[in-house]
Amino acid sequence: MVDIHCHILPGLDDGSDNLEESVRMARLAVDGGTKAIIATPHSNVPDSYRNYCNKSFVDTFNTLKERIKQENIPLKLYAGHEIFASGDIVTLIKTKRLLTLRNSRYPLIEFAFKERAEIVYQKLGELVAEGFTPIVAHPERYAFVAEDEFAPMRLKSMGCLLQVNKGSVKGSFGREAHVVSKSLIKHEVADFIASDAHSPYMRTTYLSDVHEIICDIRSQEYADLLLSINPEKVIRNKKIY
């Protein structure tokens, strides 16, 4: 499996606190059948985590990558951002201050949980118009999705893809996110499942349990599509549909 959303880089956001925690997250990922992780720290969040790509960001990434290698952990690590949709994200991405997932056509985009629908569609539309294929992080957690059953299909019809969180499927983010995430899977509307892991203790990098849940809700083929086949296409910058 390939995990496209993971807060494994140490000390940059509310994810891993330090290098040792990051190494534990890497080991746990491998134990759960993950072969590659795209590190996606929160970024571009107003008055909070900025994390624009600079020397310090690259050094943090390279330090963890080197440590994973030294520890002989069979895990590939790639760089990305979980991009908070505020300001001129198109320019920030084009100038590489914000990273798409492994420098692909796919930026991982998040919103405030109560962001207004028109802002969401406007921001995503700007990215699509510039040739990007935005991946919407955890749509099941947003108010505008809970309030409009057609929102997921509208996002997809405008050219976005949907990444559901492992924790939502397991019921860790409340009833609404649980119900919506299961519906997205049951109707094969979701395109990815990712860990959105923040530590080796809670919200972890372990993915094989959620693979089993998807098999039960829908099918093994769809579980493989969400956790392996589509994420592989992202790291190779291949078209998904």
- In the complex with Fe ion, the residue whose CB is nearer, 3 or 196, is 196
140 in contact with Fe ion (CB under 5 A): no
Contact stretch for Fe ion (CB under 5 A) within 52-60, 79-87, 140-148, 214-222: 79-87
236 burial level (CB within 10 Å; 0-12, 13-18, 19+): exposed
- In whole angstroms, give the CA distance from residue 6 to residue 77: 10
- Beta-strand ranges (E) seen in the chain are 2-6, 36-39, 42-43, 76-79, 82-84, 108-110, 135-137, 161-165, 192-194
Stretch that binds Fe ion, among 67-75, 80-88, 119-127, 214-222 (CB under 5 A): 80-88
| Best CA proximity match to 227, nearest among 83, 96, 219 | 219
Q: Considering beta carbons, is residue 43 or 218 the nearer one to Fe ion?
A: 43
Q: Which of 82, 111, 197, 230 is the binder for Fe ion (CB under 5 A)?
A: 82
Helices (H), 130-186: 143-146, 151-157, 166-169, 175-186
Nearer CB in complex with Fe ion: 32/167: 167
CB of 41 to Fe ion, least distance (A): 8
* Residues 60 and 10 sit within 8 Å (Cβ to Cβ): yes
| Closer residue to Fe ion in complex, CB, 140/196 | 196
Q: How many residues bind Fe ion (CB under 5 A)?
A: 2
Structure tokens at 28: 């746990």
Site string for Fe ion, 191-210 (x = CB under 5 A): -----x--------------
> Closer CB to Fe ion, residue 104 or residue 168?
168
Residues engaged in binding Fe ion (CB under 5 A) = 82, 196
